Amino acid sequence: MCAHGVKQIKSSFYSLGKVFSESRIVDYTWKENDISPGKKEILIDNKQYYKFWGRDIHMISLIKLYTEGGKVIRHED
């Protein structure tokens, strides 16, 4: 999968509804840091909610994307 922008990244999380009876991103923040010319670090801090077998699951996730020349070269979650 190749995701471009926040909408497509969020849509990958919303597809989890096929596994969980309920899933949603409650909140998220987005921050870009310049590492060097042409290289960036993108931090996506999000709070997620899932319902699985009647249980409420709250999860906080930090996603790190490293880009070079506008393309993601590394992903950490």
Instruction: Please write the tens of the pLDDT for every residue from 3-49.
Output: 666 777 777 666 666 677 777 888 999 999 999 999 999 999 999 88
User: Rounded to the nearest 5 degrees, what angle is found at the Cα of 8, between the Cα atoms of 46 and 37?
Assistant: 80
Q: What is the pLDDT of residue 29?
A: 94
| pLDDT confidence band for 71 (50 / 70 / 90) | confident
Query: pLDDT class for 51, splitting at 50, 70, 90?
Result: confident
Q: How many independent structural domains does the chain possess?
A: 1
- What's the distance, CA 3 to chain centroid? 10
Predicted confidence at residue 16, as pLDDT, reads 61
Taking 3-state DSSP, the helix, strand and coil percentages for the chain, each rounded to the nearest 5, stand at 20, 65, 20
Domain that holds residue 34: 5-76
